[in-house]
Structure 1
Amino acid sequence: MATAVQAGSVRKKARRLAVLSGFAGVVVALAGCGGDGSSTAESTPSDSPAAQESAGLVIEDPWVKAADEGMTAAFGVLVNDTDADITITAVETEISPIELHEMAMQDGTMVMREKDGGITVPAGGSHTLEPGGDHIMLMDIAEAVQPGDELTFTMTFADGGTYEFSAVAKPFVGAEESYDPGSDSDMDMDMDNG
């Protein structure tokens, strides 16, 4: 019950920030109209309201699966409080190349593969990144990701905007997933629940 109340509180705060972002966006746009035509956009830290506002999207409860080497993944709930769909086309972090992945049936087998076109979060809606579903795949970590470590990610949207967030590493056994190369970007996912 407390978790539902906390999640509701986070969503309310995110919605308030989205409303404020609309106002801030109008002020910034009007201020930019009188210039010499050059752009002086600057990035802002992810924990500042301006960063969240400019994105129009927030990620709730972000986390990364702890791993010693190889691949791992990041998860959370993407929340879009705007009136337009937002498509995430890329994600970056310092310790690994990243792909946006999905789980799908292919030739009677569940496979993990790169998600064509990115991940779209519907206007006024949410999209869950979770084990066994859509996720942010760290393809080859350069160093171990231990429980409690905090990784910083930067999302890039189809419109060129970006959003930075941090995710804490957690131990997660899940369904004992193992990833084996299938083809160029497809990977089979063997599930062992035993």
Structure 2
Amino acid sequence: MGRTSRFGAGLALALALSGLTACANDDSTAAAPAPSATTAVNAPAATSGLTMKDPWIKAADEGMTAAFGTLVNGGSTDVTVVSAATEVSPMMELHETTMVNGAMQMQPKQGGFTIPAGGEHVLEPGGDHIMMMGLTTPVKAGDEIALTLTLGDGSTVRFTAVGKPFTGAQESYAPGAHGGAMPSMSAGAHS
């Protein structure tokens, strides 16, 4: 290969790499996705095929609240969500709702949420959800909150959830409800 050919090939490679870098940098300045959009931002998790569809958080001024939506696995292998994080809550847990001594109670989901290949896992009031405790910032209706899920393989999925007022599934996120037992389901509206 002649000197001119090597220079041309090197220049082409440098231009291609700078184009990739420019795309990566553009992502950080892009507007946040629409809250109801399916979102997968992190490259390793995107290869797993996991996305969050219609994510939302119950609006709350303080204390506890929860995040909901539908985890969608478009990949060819099962994916397990093992933890969650956000800047507005220093303590988050993956929760399930189960019957304990005749009463519905929320408790940490041992092993996390496993979403089968090509399947979905619904997070909803009164069912599985992402519990957010010790809110450091109120979640108001219309707020867009960034959350990150960590998968069993160590990769992450980031998405944006919108705050919504909700009074439908009779959960009680009252302070102290996480004492010995997890928050319980009660007759009456959401607190």
Give the TM-score taking structure 1 as reference length: 0.70
Matched with 2:171 is 177
Instruction: Report what 1:27 is aligned to.
Output: none
1:191 deviates by 2.9
Q: For residues 71 and 49 of structure 1, do their structure 2 counterparts lie closer, same or farther at Cα, with a shift above 3 Å needed?
A: closer
SS in 2 for 1:99: strand
Q: How far is the alpha carbon of 1:109 from its aligned partner?
A: 1.1
Residue of structure 1 aligned with 2:52, choices 21, 39, 59: 59
In structure 1, the partner of 2:9 is none
8 Å Cα contact 1:178-1:191 kept in structure 2: no
Q: In the TM superposition, what whole-angstrom CA distance separates every residue of 1:81-131 from its partner, at most 9, and x where no partner exists?
A: 112110000000001011000100111111011111101111110010000
1:147 equivalent in structure 2:
141
Q: Is the 8 A contact 2:94 2:130 kept in 1?
A: yes
- Say whether 1:186 aligns with 2:164: no
| Conserved 8 A contact 2:56-2:164 | yes
| Structure 2 residue ranges without an equivalent (≥5) | 1-23, 29-38
Distance 1:47 1:75, change over 3 A: same
Taking only aligned residues, the RMSD between alpha carbons, in angstroms, comes to 2.3
Q: Is there any run of 5+ residues in structure 1 with no aligned partner, and where?
A: 1-41
> Does 1:76 pair with 2:69?
yes
The structure having more radius of gyration, on CA atoms, is: 2
SS in 2 for 1:177: coil
Match of 1:121 in 2: 115
SS in 2 for 1:117: coil
Q: State the SS of the aligned residue for 1:189.
A: coil
Question: Is the contact made by 2:75 and 2:118 (CA closer than 8 Å) also made in structure 1?
Answer: yes
User: Deviations 1:139-181 (Å, cap 9, x if unpaired)?
Assistant: 1111211111010011001111111110011111113432352
Change in Cα spacing, 1:167 to 1:85, as seen in structure 2 (3 Å) is same
- 1:7-52 per-position Cα deviation (integer Å, ceiling 9, x unaligned): xxxxxxxxxxxxxxxxxxxxxxxxxxxxxxxxxxx9x766658466
Shift of 1:192: 1.6
How many pairs were matched up? 151
Instruction: Mark the CA change 1:162 to 1:110 in structure 2 (over 3 Å): closer, same or farther.
Output: same
Q: Which amino acid aligns with 1:133?
A: G
Contact 2:46 2:157 in 1 (8 A): no
Query: For residues 49 and 67 of structure 1, what CA distance do their matches in structure 2 show?
Result: 28
Instruction: Read off the aligned partner of 2:182 and give its amino acid letter.
Output: D
Q: Aligned pair in 2 of structure 1 residues 103, 48: CA closer, same or farther (>3 Å)?
A: closer
- The verdict on how the C-alpha distance between 1:123 and 1:185 changes in structure 2, with shifts beyond 3 A counting, is farther
